[in-house]
């Protein structure tokens, strides 16, 4: 057996040494992560440097438009061309109110002379003044069925717009807001028209029905037939005066209602308030017919069953007073005002200047030119009671009178709408003997 050298480790010692060496190595390896975590110099040197820029996140894949649950991308519309602009509304002028604007009486082109001391008008003379006969115009063309709006009421308004007439014969101030027969209330019609059109002006005729103007005229005609004055009868003058004094407030409210009807429609029209044409002569010489006041010819032949004294009262205390109240209402409401009291001057019933259709010396029919004719329907004397429709026409402007009114309003409305920002204006339309309806005088101011 060979002996080992003295001091050299034996096999057991060598195994133990190797074991200790391995344990030391394992411990050293175990300490490295701890050193890195504690920020030791060795760990800092070994740490990687951060990137200067974070990598961009990849964009999600665009799904196929047909994939369920996906949204199809929409086109960019921010730069698309605007749609075509809405066409401008047509301009229009609207007339509202009673028979003086509806055109009551326009069936007749002048008046025919009746038979003296006998009554009645010969058929040939009646036919010469009745437009259904003389001009061959059907009655349903002259008057509409419900409101008797006439074809004679025409306003060729030019730049002011087309004319739309919704006036209704017999309409008072309050019924402007109520239906008449099958017709919708005028204010409701006006609002629709102001929405559909650019309404540049609304012409209003109202107040006469409230005062019962034509009823008072008829009452005075009845008084003449009974050989008495109406102008001295308190039972007639009292109520007539009270109605006239109260009408201004009603007219003012009507103007307010018209203005409210167009509010918010996009239309900003001029409100034009007109007064009333006075159909009878003044009762004063020389303007009034000089025929015997107490002769039946005054009615039978000339259609003037009135005393001169009563004519003066009707002209001054009723007609002029009514128009004065309307003028005050227009001023109070800031409306334009058209004075029509003298529109028929020189052509009034009972006047000494205008002529009637008569028989010539050879028996043919002789009709005066419009410049010499009467412009209001007279009070015809008939052997039988007048039909209701003809009774309504009495003492309203006839065909020539309506032509004069249309000429007046065309001139005034055209001027007002041409300068829409000017203050409220007063206009006057005045007729004259021997002058045609288109030759009336129009003046402004005052």
241-250 pLDDT, tens digit per residue, is: 999 999 999 9
Mean pLDDT of 388-395: 90
**Edge-to-edge strands, sheet with 336-339:** 162-165, 91-97, 198-205, 270-274, 336-339, 426-430, 441-444
Mean pLDDT of 286-314: 92
| SS3 of residue 135 by DSSP | coil
Question: What is the length of the chain?
Answer: 446
Helix (H) / strand (E) element for 397: namely none
Candidates 336, 342, 333, 339; CA nearest to 413 is 336
51-95 pLDDT, tens digit per residue, is: 344 444 444 444 444 444 545 555 554 555 555 666 688 999 999
* Helical H segments across 8-84, by residue range: 11-37, 41-46
Residue 81, pLDDT score: 55
What six digits make up the tokens of 257?
């209602």
- Residue 38: pLDDT over 70: no
DSSP conformation class of 349:
B
State how far the Cα of 380 lies from the Cα of 390, in Å rounded to an integer. 9
Candidates 404, 402, 222; CA nearest to 306 is 222
- Residue 15: pLDDT over 80: no
State how far the Cα of 109 lies from the Cα of 130, in Å rounded to an integer. 6
* Average pLDDT in the chain: 83
> Based on C-alpha coordinates, what's the Rg of the chain?
48
* Helical H segments across 230-362, by residue range: 234-262, 297-300, 308-313, 321-333
Q: Point out which residues pair with 338 in neighbouring strands.
A: 274, 427
Candidates 373, 294, 393, 385; CA nearest to 113 is 373
Percent pLDDT > 90 in the chain is: 63
State how far the Cα of 191 lies from the Cα of 265, in Å rounded to an integer. 7
Q: pLDDT tier at 238 (50, 70, 90 boundaries)? A: very high
DSSP conformation class of 206:
-
DSSP conformation class of 63:
P
324-370 pLDDT, tens digit per residue, is: 999 999 999 999 999 999 999 999 999 999 999 999 999 999 999 99
- At residue 357, what are phi and psi to the nearest 5 degrees? -75, 130
State how far the Cα of 327 lies from the Cα of 337, in Å rounded to an integer. 7
Candidates 261, 259, 267; CA nearest to 88 is 267
Residue 292, pLDDT score: 87
What six digits make up the tokens of 399?
């065909």
Mean pLDDT of 276-283: 95
Q: Could you count the other beta carbons within 10 Å of the beta carbon of residue 323? A: 23
300-312 pLDDT, tens digit per residue, is: 999 999 999 999 9
The strand pair at 426-430 and 336-339 is best described as parallel
Q: pLDDT tier at 384 (50, 70, 90 boundaries)? A: confident
104-147 pLDDT, tens digit per residue, is: 999 999 999 999 887 789 999 999 999 999 999 999 999 988 88
Helix (H) / strand (E) element for 108: namely none
Torsion angle of C-alpha atoms 280, 284, 289, 292, degrees rounded to 10: 120
185-212 pLDDT, tens digit per residue, is: 999 999 999 999 999 999 999 999 889 8
State how far the Cα of 310 lies from the Cα of 318, in Å rounded to an integer. 11
- Residue 271: pLDDT over 50: yes
Neighbouring C-alpha atoms within 13 Å toward the C-beta of 108: 28
Q: Point out which residues pair with 180 in neighbouring strands.
A: 183
């Amino acid at each position: 057996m060979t002996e080992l050298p003295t001091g050299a480790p034996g096999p057991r010692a060598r195994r133990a040494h190797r074991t200790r060496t391995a344990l030391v190595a394992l411990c050293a390896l175990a300490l490295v992560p701890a050193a890195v975590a504690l920020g030791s110099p060795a760990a800092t040197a070994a740490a990687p440097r951060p990137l200067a820029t974070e990598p961009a996140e990849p964009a999600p894949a665009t799904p196929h438009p047909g994939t369920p649950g996906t949204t199809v991308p929409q086109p960019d519309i921010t730069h698309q061309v605007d749609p075509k602009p809405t066409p401008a509304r047509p301009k229009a002028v609207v007339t509202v109110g009673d028979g003086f604007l509806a055109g009551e009486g326009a069936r007749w082109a002048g008046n025919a002379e009746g038979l003296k001391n006998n009554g009645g008008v010969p058929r040939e003379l009646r036919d010469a003044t009745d437009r259904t006969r003389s001009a061959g115009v059907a009655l349903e063309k002259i008057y509409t069925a419900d409101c008797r709006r006439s074809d004679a009421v025409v306003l060729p308004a030019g730049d002011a717009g087309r004319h739309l007439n919704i006036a209704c014969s017999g309409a008072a101030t309050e019924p402007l807001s109520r239906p008449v027969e099958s017709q919708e209330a005028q204010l409701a019609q006006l609002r629709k028209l102001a929405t559909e059109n650019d309404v540049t002006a609304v012409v209003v005729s109202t107040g006469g029905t409230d005062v019962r103007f034509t009823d008072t005229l008829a009452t005075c005609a009845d008084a003449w037939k009974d050989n008495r004055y109406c102008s001295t009868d308190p039972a007639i003058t009292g109520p007539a005066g009270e109605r006239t004094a109260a009408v201004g407030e009603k007219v003012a409210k009507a103007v307010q209602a018209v203005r409210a009807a167009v509010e918010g429609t996009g239309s900003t029209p001029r409100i034009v308030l007109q007064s009333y044409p006075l159909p009878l002569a003044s009762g004063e010489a020389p303007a009034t017919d000089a025929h015997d006041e107490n002769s039946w010819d005054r009615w039978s032949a000339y259609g003037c069953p009135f005393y001169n004294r009563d004519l003066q009262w009707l002209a001054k205390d009723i007609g002029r007073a009514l128009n004065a109240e309307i003028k005050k209402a227009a001023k109070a409401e800031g409306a334009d005002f058209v004075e029509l009291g003298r529109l028929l001057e020189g052509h009034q019933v009972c006047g000494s200047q205008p002529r009637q259709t008569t028989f010539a010396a050879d028996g043919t029919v002789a009709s005066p030119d419009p410049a010499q004719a009467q412009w209001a329907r007279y009070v015809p004397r008939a052997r039988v009671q007048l039909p209701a429709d003809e009774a309504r026409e009495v003492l309203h402007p006839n065909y020539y009178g309506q032509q004069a009114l249309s000429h007046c309003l065309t001139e005034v409305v055209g001027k007002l709408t041409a300068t829409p920002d000017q203050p409220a204006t007063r206009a006057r339309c005045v007729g004259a003997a021997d002058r045609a309806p288109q030759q009336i005088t129009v003046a402004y101011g005052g």
